[in-house]
Structure 1
Amino acid sequence: MTLPLKQALTHEARALGFDCAGVTDPDAIAEVARHFRAFIDEGAHGDMDWLAASPERRMDPRVLWPGVRSVIMLGVNYGPDENPLDILQHRTSGAISVYAQGDDYHDVIKKRLKALARWLAAQSGSEVKVFVDTAAVMEKPLAQAAGLGWQGKHTNLVSREFGSWLFLGAIFTAADLPRDAPETDHCGSCRACLDICPTAAFPAPYRLDARRCISYLTIENKGPIPHQFRKAIGNHIYGCDDCLAACPWNKFAQQGREIKLAARDALRAPPLAELARLDDAAFRSLFTKSPVKRIGRDRFIRNVLTAIGNADDAALADEARRLLDDESPLVRGAAVWALSQLMAPDEFAALASDAIGAETNESVRAEWQLSQADVASSS
């Protein structure tokens, strides 16, 4: 295909609301496949079984679609209008990851990708396929190969123009388009993203252990938050931006221009006390069109209670105590831990002695016993 088509593609992408676009070869990430295989073999993906399913489809775009000749990577800037680290100082409010404070980016970007793909198919006469974080596509390595940015030491994409804040989407096409030069790594000796991680989720630069990552623990993890990470989670209640926000390249970042992706006022710094009172209907209403809704009310309240336990505000104990009677064992267990952090040791011990015998769920009873032992050993 000719260069004018490539130029027209870039122009059309920007007209549709994409902030950057690049083209790479389907076999451009062959070396990355080795690192992905090691990530899976180490079990660092945790319970995200879909990552381990058919890994060859992720490691080679041609396995996913044999007809692909060019991979078009596109980015939408969602840069925040305030520093995401500021909320961490307000312990009685919940910290929701920047990407989840607006509408679900999957819905916003997929419509644009489909529109651009239709345009390209009409212009080139070639078949196209669209992907946005829901298929076996290694978007970040492909984005680096297409020149959109580079994978930093925190394994996320960093852009010299947009910092850490790019949503990615991909279009595979049978058209043979001119390639863009890959971006080079500009991290240098910087360790800001590694050093700020509260749970030490990076065993080494460019390596992530998802099992220790706050985003994994608060979103993908379906069970109780492991005890060893609860204090470190602080007031993160959905995802974590710490490693992204710490990157010095954010000094060049720009505020996102897509209104649907902008933070809703109700989700910027929601009070933990109000969130703890959400029933299922209220949860669904508050998080309409938000990616938060996919984890469900019970896992979300588990996260809220973990934050309440870290709030160092005894006034929040009433919210946790009320949830001891919640229908969900996951919520009840989280309420137990929160109370163990907020109540005086003798008061909690008295409450535990009454509750252990009455609790019918084995995991919640174990939570009482473990929390009781922790309180006793620290007093």
Structure 2
Amino acid sequence: MSEGLKARLEAQALAEGFARMRITTPGAVPEVPARLAAFLAAGRHGQMTWLAERADWRGNPAALWPEAKSVIMLAEPYTPAEDPLATLERRDRATISVYARNRDYHDVLKKRLKRLARWLIAEAGGEVKVFVDTAPVPEKALGQAAGLGWQGKHTNLVSRELGNWFFLGAIFTTVELPVDAPETDHCGSCRACLDICPTDAFPAPYQLDARRCISYLTIEHRGPVDMALRPRLGNRIYGCDDCLAVCPWNKFAVAAQEIAYSAREDLAAPRLDELASLDDAGFRARFAGSPIKRIGRDRFVRNVLYAIGNSGDRALLATAERLRDDPDPTVADAAQWAVGQMRTM
């Protein structure tokens, strides 16, 4: 019965648009607590205090919901249609991480997970809880335990069937389902993801220091970014895809099926001067429904000004100069820095 249910569940998952489904148990990641503790002890989480506040749950999925018997892990591709690093050379334009160039994946993916969870309840009874990145769940470790892929040297999940351009969703359930074998590491001697990192955010293979990661610096970090790191941001204003883009396993990446993951035309390579001119209302209007909205206008414009300072484009000098008196001190600081950078070039 359970094998038949699992087969039908997988067929339903594929029909919903997921690319892969694998199953594990909440207790299948005993290595996570020690790894998380070491990460936190080294201070590598930076300002992400929520990682420490819920470390017990994040380190032990079984404690999150003790009644759960199975964890259904699902992969949904968001593979870009174009080279995600192409805009890095267009210095008057902004580079936005692939996942943030359209709708917020949390909303899109959660709806799909809920539909699949409802199907499971109708077929087998029991209870379910769905998670997409916002709860204290170690999705990548569970993904490896379930056999979806392995955590590569860049710490992201890599699949021999999907590359590394995919989102993870989890359904915890009280229904007991047959588990899949965990995936093993297939990185070999490759260092592509480590060597391309602009800020040297990997102290060692399989280790990340978020305090140096551009995704962290442009999204999670509040206040001014360290002076030494600002030039390394280039024109990346929200996230960074460098380590994902160079992974050789992407030769097996499959196209994204969800239209909401296709890049909006105005976010594929937006002009820096246009973005820097946004006030709060303009920012909210432009990024409604986007994950970018979460960081707010001030942090966003701070990032844009760092990109302007790195552009070497004197045509952007006036844009930076206008923001030196911005009411937000971090924006004003970024504008002053950008002006100084361009005047010395």
Range into which the TM-score falls when normalised by the shorter chain = over 0.9
Aligned residue number for residue 304 of structure 1: 304
SS of residue in 2 equivalent to 1:83: coil
Distance 1:273 1:47 in 2: 29
Amino acid aligned to 2:213: C
Q: Over residues 307-334 of structure 1, what are the superposed CA-to-partner deviations in whole Å (9 max), with x where a residue is unaligned?
A: 0000011111000001112221111110
1:249/1:171 CA distance change after superposition, 3 Å: same
Bigger Cα Rg: 1
Q: Is the 8 A contact 1:141 1:151 kept in 2?
A: yes
Aligned residue number for residue 198 of structure 2: 198
Aligned residue number for residue 284 of structure 1: 284
Distance 1:344 1:205 in 2: 37
Aligned residue number for residue 74 of structure 1: 74
Aligned residue number for residue 126 of structure 1: 126
Q: Over residues 251-279 of structure 1, what are the superposed CA-to-partner deviations in whole Å (9 max), with x where a residue is unaligned?
A: 11122110011110110110111111111
Structure 2 unmatched ranges of 5 or more: none
What is the Cα deviation at residue 107 of structure 1? 0.2
Q: Over residues 227-249 of structure 1, what are the superposed CA-to-partner deviations in whole Å (9 max), with x where a residue is unaligned?
A: 11000000000000000101111
Count of aligned residue pairs for this structure pair: 345
Aligned residue number for residue 104 of structure 1: 104
1:152-191 superposed matches below 5 A: 152-191=152-191
Is residue 92 of structure 2 the alignment partner of residue 84 of structure 1? no
Aligned residue number for residue 150 of structure 1: 150
Amino acid aligned to 2:100: A
Q: Is the 8 A contact 1:235 1:308 kept in 2?
A: yes
Aligned residue number for residue 135 of structure 2: 135
Q: Is the 8 A contact 1:61 1:68 kept in 2?
A: no
What is the Cα deviation at residue 104 of structure 1? 0.1
Aligned residue number for residue 334 of structure 2: 334
Amino acid aligned to 2:281: A
Structure 1 unmatched ranges of 5 or more: 346-379
1:152/1:344 CA distance change after superposition, 3 Å: closer
Q: Is the 8 A contact 1:79 1:162 kept in 2?
A: no
Aligned residue number for residue 235 of structure 2: 235
Q: Over residues 103-148 of structure 1, what are the superposed CA-to-partner deviations in whole Å (9 max), with x where a residue is unaligned?
A: 0000001111111111111211111111111111000010111111
Amino acid aligned to 1:301: V
Is residue 29 of structure 2 the alignment partner of residue 32 of structure 1? no
SS of residue in 2 equivalent to 1:335: helix
What is the Cα deviation at residue 344 of structure 1? 4.6
Q: Over residues 188-219 of structure 1, what are the superposed CA-to-partner deviations in whole Å (9 max), with x where a residue is unaligned?
A: 00000000000000000000000000000000
User: RMSD in angstroms over aligned alpha carbons?
Assistant: 1.0
Q: What percent identity do the matched residue pairs reach?
A: 62
Distance 1:3 1:237 in 2: 47
Amino acid aligned to 2:106: H
Amino acid aligned to 1:281: A
Please say which of residues 157-166 and 313-322 is displaced more in the overlay.
157-166
Distance 1:124 1:37 in 2: 37
Please say which of residues 225-234 and 52-61 is displaced more in the overlay.
52-61
Distance 1:13 1:243 in 2: 29
Distance 2:36 2:267 in 1: 34
Amino acid aligned to 2:147: G
Q: Is the 8 A contact 2:32 2:60 kept in 1?
A: no
What is the Cα deviation at residue 169 of structure 1? 0.8
Distance 2:149 2:133 in 1: 17
Which gives a bigger RCO, structure 1 or 2 (Cα 8 Å, sep 6+)? 2
1:38-53 superposed matches below 5 A: 38-53=38-53
TM-score, normalization: structure 2? 0.98
Distance 1:332 1:95 in 2: 22
Distance 1:255 1:290 in 2: 21
Q: Which has the higher helix share?
A: 1
Distance 1:135 1:180 in 2: 23
